[in-house]
Amino acid sequence: MAKKKKAKETDAGTLGRLSKAGEDALTRFVEELGKNERVTDAVGRAMAAKGRLDDGAKRAVGQVGLAAAEELKDLRKHIERLEKRLAKLEADAKPKPAAKPRTTKPRATTTTTRAKKPAEPKPPPAPEPPASPES
């Protein structure tokens, strides 16, 4: 068991050293590229071209009538805010729980008779068929 633990520690140490060496090499490479004028000019031109491409794509999408991804993201955020606000308003509009029941007797109230609703008039009876001369 001690051998397995020792092997894992050496593997982790070796991996760590290789990782550190790779990071150092990559850092030196990026620094050298940053010093090269041709590379920095090429990166600048590529970034400018990407900006022009993005602008053109936004214009094309707008002319077609589609919403851009940024607009959709903003709309989704706005909808979420409105939904939260609506939920809060609905929660505030719910009736409050009833107050504690009274411990004293309720007052006797006088009742008044309500006027009865007039009955609807009955339809006239259907006319009887005339008597036939045969009888």
| Cβ neighbours for 67, distance < 8 A, ≥ 6 positions apart | 61, 75
Largest pairwise CA distance in the chain: 129
Least confident of 42-51, 53-62, 77-86, 106-115: 106-115
pLDDT for the residue 58: 85
pLDDT, one tens digit per residue, over 4-59 is 555 566 667 888 999 999 999 999 999 998 899 999 999 999 999 999 999 998 88
- CA pair distance 29, 23, nearest whole angstrom: 10
The predicted model scores a pTM of 0.36
Gap between the Cα atoms of 80 and 82, Å rounded: 5
Distance CA 35, CA 29 (A): 10
Give residue 135's pLDDT: 46
Pick from 48, 50, 67, 49: which is nearest to 58 by CA?
67
List the domain boundaries for the chain.
Answer: 12-93
